[in-house]
Amino acid sequence: MTRLIFVRHGETAWNVELRFQGQRDTALSARGRVQAQQVAERLRHEPIRAVYSSDLSRAVDTARAIAAVHGLPVVPDAALRERNFGDWEGCTAAEVRARWPDGLQHWQRAPHEYTPPHGESLAAVAARVQAKIRDIVAAHPDATVVIVGHGGSIRAAVLTALNQPLSEWRSVRVDNASLTVLQFHPHGVEVVQLNDLSHLKT
């Protein structure tokens, strides 16, 4: 059995401002750095063998806090990035609505059916995340591994594991600095924890 502990990166200023971050390389806020340390403390006694991360700095910096406790390196990988939101990145929903009113409405109603201009489809996100997870599970049989990612990449992992369609995207919630745990057995995948925030104090 391989146990994957997914961690969403700590908070950023754009999270607070409700801006589409996508693949923009935004940094952790002061609160986000505290959250990263709290996640690291929560995972201190886990038998972690490896720490993977999206290569965006908000994820890498969260992963480094966890890896440091275990004396491990962080393995960054672009396949674990957030969805590319294209021209929407850096915008609030109100700003998107002003420029792409039909697009925002479509995305809010059915995010799996709509791709922002110059952005990435949810199907493409799910495909790259699923392929990377398969590689990680194959490389670490019978081990516990941390993967630090984003709301989108972790949603994709959960839905794929449960064989749920991407139309269920909004049924999975993934908050900043949350833990989601999947266990991979020869007979299938179990969701053990989802969006666990019990370690956060602030």
Q: Please state, in angstroms and rounded to a whole number, the distance separating the CA atoms of residues 106 and 157.
A: 23
Specify the amino acid at residue 5: I
Q: Please state, in angstroms and rounded to a whole number, the distance separating the CA atoms of residues 9 and 183.
A: 21
DSSP sequence for 129-188: HHHHHHHHHHHSTT-EEEEEE-HHHHHHHHHHHTT--GGGGGG----TT-EEEEEEETTE
3-state helix, strand, coil in the chain (%, to 5): 45, 20, 35
Does 185 qualify as catalytic in the annotation?
no
Write down the catalytic residue from 9, 118, 185, 187: 9
Residue 197's nearest CA partner among 183, 168, 176, 167 is 176
Does 150 qualify as catalytic in the annotation?
yes
Write down the catalytic residue from 45, 70, 118, 150: 150
Phi first, then psi: give them for residue 16, nearest 5 degrees. -65, -40
The set of catalytic residues is 9, 150
